A = this chain, B = another copy of it.
């Protein structure tokens, strides 16, 4: 069973409907495995012959976020991006020249920091966001 089918099954077993737009949006985010903005997603829907209202796209993104199927990333160019939640936790390398984004694993370095923060500050870290900005292999 493809991983994407598991997502579809879960949605159905939770009592929700597998509409054309929903399937297409998940498909787009799943295929891309990279950061897409709401309007980019909407444009791809259009391109595949599935014109959807802006409202619908935002509502669907909200739905998928709530189901923990996708997550939201905000990077420094004033946009909000979405990506499929993958089992391997990762961060992003954002090239400030060509805007390409690649993923990077970080091991448990931050986990240790978070433990330290809890000990020193009594602040319980539940999530974090970490993005690196710079010049990629090609733009260097």
Interface residues in chain A, defined as those with a beta carbon under 8 Å from any beta carbon in chain B:
72, 74-76, 78, 80, 93, 95-96, 102, 104, 106, 109, 113-114, 117, 121-137, 140
Contact = CB atoms under 8 A, between A and B. Distances in A.
B128 A130 contact: yes
B117 A140 contact: no
Q: What number of copies of this chain does the assembly contain?
A: 2
A37 to B, nearest CB: 13
A129 B80 CA distance: 15
Contacts of A102: 121, 123
A133 B125 contact: yes
Nearest to A96: B126
A76 B58 CA distance: 16
